Amino acid sequence: MKCVKVPLKQLNDIRIKLMEEGLMNMDFRIKAEKDYGFIPINDDVDGFEIVDIALEPIKKVPHSFSELLEDELTSDEIETLRTSFDTIGDIVILEIPENLESKKQIIGDAALKFTKRRSIYMKRSAIKGTTRVRDLEFLSGVDDSVTIHREHGARLKLDVREVYFSPRLATERKRVMESVRDGEKILDMFCGIGPFPIVIARNKDADIVAVDINESAIRYLNENIKLNKLKGHIETYTGDINEVSKGFKCKFDRIIMNLPGLAYTFLDLAVDLIEDDGIINYYEFSDSYETGIKRLKDACLRKNKEVEIINAHKVKSTSPGEWHIAIDGKIKNT
């Protein structure tokens, strides 16, 4: 390795000067001996004794996902991948576009190194079916799809292969939790593993009934009830809300309806089950608020009730031009 040989006392000053002038070779370690130091250089430097000795190469540690993949993918491809990361506990779920299929293993290994999580999976289908679960393919790390996700201090245990869960709804859950008053009776019609009930019951003394058709989701919710210190109370039911609700003996101050593709088909039931002045937290996929607001109004009309829309906002983007939309309606008897 080509180096400049300098007196040890001047080593630091000369090192800084060479670095500033871009003459130092940063891929090798400086060597110091008894009276002299050896600084690796890229090219001959005037005014110094140049020698050729062996120097230890510096192991380059990649600092980012981009650096890990820069030899394999374009910067646009890396950026697209980066925005697809969903981290659930110690699991990362990636969306890998079809044209990068042949590089999925390299991408998975890079994601494992970069995120330092335990397991990397890739999406193999859209979210589908009644239980809203997607197919996943294991890519890297440990093939164990059970994890504990932390959200606003709550511990949420789940199996990413068996149940629906989106970490991207964390802000929405906090917003709903903050609007709950102590003492509320709440129904979560499509509770999944219970992120709304758990986040609410950790913070508010609410009485929550949580229903889901997916047996596995309710099994995890029951575990989550034990995993968290709750101020409120959660009662769980497995089954179709249409059937389970037949056994309800009371009405509710709030009903949470996070089944955005189909929630509108349950609006009549929700309007029947809501107390006077109760709030429906309604969700749907749409490009605007109008359809959802009209659906809420129509359901109320059919039941001789009225709705005051107290909030409508976009929760997250789902595809270009389409949003996961939240509408909060206060339902009043006429």
Q: Of 240, 287, 290, 322, which one interacts with ligand SAM (CB under 6 A)?
A: 240
- According to CB under 6 A, which residues from 53 to 92 bind ligand SAM? none
Verify binding: residue 235, ligand SAM, rule CB under 6 A: no
Shortest Cβ distance from residue 207 to ligand SAM (Å)? 18
Binding mask 179-208 for ligand SAM (x = CB under 6 A): -----------xxx--xx------------
Q: Considering only 106-114, 137-145, 177-185, 210-218, which stretch makes contact with ligand SAM by CB under 6 A? A: 210-218
Residue appearing with tokens 């003996």: 249
Binding mask 254-283 for ligand SAM (x = CB under 6 A): ----xx------------------------
Verify binding: residue 211, ligand SAM, rule CB under 6 A: yes
Distance CA 92, CA 86 (A): 6
Distance CA 313, CA 216 (A): 31
Please report which helix (H) or strand (E) contains residue 329, including its range.
strand 322-333
DSSP 8-state symbol, 265: G
Q: Of 121, 164, 220, 323, which one interacts with ligand SAM (CB under 6 A)?
A: 164
Shortest Cβ distance from residue 301 to ligand SAM (Å)? 23
Question: What is the token pair recorded at 151?
Answer: 């959200």
Q: Which of 18, 303, 108 is nearest to 329 (CA)?
A: 303
Beta bridge partners of 211: 237
Verify binding: residue 115, ligand SAM, rule CB under 6 A: no
Residue number with the smallest Cβ distance to ligand SAM: 192
Q: Considering only 55-63, 127-135, 144-152, 320-328, which stretch makes contact with ligand SAM by CB under 6 A? A: 127-135
CB 31 within 8 A of CB 5: no
Please report which helix (H) or strand (E) contains residue 125, including its range.
none
Positive or negative CA dihedral for 179, 182, 184, 188? positive
Edge to edge, the sheet with strand 136-141 lists 86-88, 91-94, 119-123, 136-141
Residues in the site for ligand SAM, rule: CB under 6 A?
130-132, 164-165, 169, 190-192, 195-196, 211-214, 217, 240-241, 258-259
